[in-house]
């Protein structure tokens, strides 16, 4: 059974992924926040990936890494720089030093968020980030390409849409990624032989998708879910949004300076 390190394991995506992958791999979980409700089959290492010493410690002995750790929304440059630029470099470099060849990097739809919603794009389009957060994900993709070509590592880039049990608004009808489809695509990233550098879209088989995800299909991805089953309910409660946000695939990220950070400490609680 492969030992798979999941960074950012306490976040929403990490929590879904842990549940879906339980029993398939030996899961080594890491985050700078403490982990609650750890199962007997999981191990946990508290770490801050902006520190190289921590990145080296958690990656040692892993067979593959799913690098979810980082600042997950648009926000201040200082936070994104520390978590998504320095942290990403540290994890990739620590993996190289420790001989871990396979990395699954969930990049983001926000790396290409300034494409219009009336366009269908594939994995070969030029990046058009919609935010500083999106820029950091483009950096991760470029860094992965470097480590694949220069060091022979195996890099699987997933431009994730939105992971949730169900889509929550009209935009998510195009980019929804069900937890079980997430687990399927991540497993392909961990196990598929012959990976060098691949970019795929992390979305379910959505009728309204903006993405030609044929590269994922080529590698064996067969999504089981379609957001269209939730469309009537979602559209019934949808209200008109900002015209610019409605034009582009990135939604509100194209015009806001900050989105509430789900990982931020709640007011009144100590960090």
> Domains of the chain, with CATH numbers?
3-254 (3.40.50.720)
Confidence of residue 265 (pLDDT cuts 50, 70, 90): low
Distance of CA 96 to the CA centre of its chain: 20
- pLDDT for 56 equals 98
Torsion from C-alpha of 118, 123, 125, 128, nearest 10 degrees? 80
Judged against a pLDDT cut of 80, whether residue 264 lies above it is answered with no
Is the torsion defined by CA of 240, 119, 128, 209 positive or negative? positive
Do 7 and 166 form a contact (C-beta atoms < 8 A)?
no
The one catalytic residue among 133, 147, 211, 248 = 133
Confidence of residue 131 (pLDDT cuts 50, 70, 90): very high
List pLDDT tens digits, range 17-48. Answer: 999 999 999 999 999 999 988 888 899 999 99
d(CA 266, CA 270): 8
Packing angle between helix 179-191 and helix 12-21, nearest 10 degrees? 70
d(CA 99, CA 154): 11
Asked if 248 is an active-site residue, the reply is no
Q: How many residues are present in the chain? A: 271
- pLDDT for 271 equals 41
Distance of CA 40 to the CA centre of its chain: 26
- pLDDT for 268 equals 52
Q: What mean pLDDT comes out for the span 243-257? A: 97
């Amino acid at each position: 059974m492969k030992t798979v390190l999941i960074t950012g394991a306490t976040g929403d995506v990490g929590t879904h992924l842990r549940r879906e992958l339980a029993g398939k791999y030996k899961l080594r979980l890491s985050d700078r926040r403490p982990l609650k409700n750890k199962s007997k089959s999981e191990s946990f290492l508290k770490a801050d990936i902006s520190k190289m010493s921590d990145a080296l410690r958690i990656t040692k002995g892993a067979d593959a890494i799913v690098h979810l750790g980082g600042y997950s929304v648009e926000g201040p440059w200082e936070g994104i720089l520390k978590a998504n630029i320095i942290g990403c470099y540290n994890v990739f470099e620590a993996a190289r030093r420790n001989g871990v060849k396979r990395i699954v990097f969930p990049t983001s739809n926000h790396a290409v968020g300034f494409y219009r919603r009336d366009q269908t794009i594939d994995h070969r389009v030029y990046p058009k980030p919609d935010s500083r957060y999106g820029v950091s994900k483009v950096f991760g993709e470029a860094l992965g390409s470097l480590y694949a070509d220069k060091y022979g590592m195996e890099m699987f880039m997933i431009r994730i849409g939105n992971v949730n049990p169900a889509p929550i608004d009209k935009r998510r009808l195009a980019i929804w990624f069900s937890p079980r489809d997430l687990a399927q695509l991540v497993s392909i990233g961990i196990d598929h032989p012959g990976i060098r550098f691949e970019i795929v879209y992390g979305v379910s088989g959505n009728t309204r998708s903006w993405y030609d995800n044929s590269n994922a299909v080529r590698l064996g991805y067969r999504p089981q879910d379609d957001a269209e089953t939730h469309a009537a309910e979602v559209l019934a409660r949808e209200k008109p949004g900002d015209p610019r946000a409605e034009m582009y695939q990135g939604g509100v990220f194209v015009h806001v300076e900050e989105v509430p950070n789900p990982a931020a400490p709640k007011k009144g609680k100590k960090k």
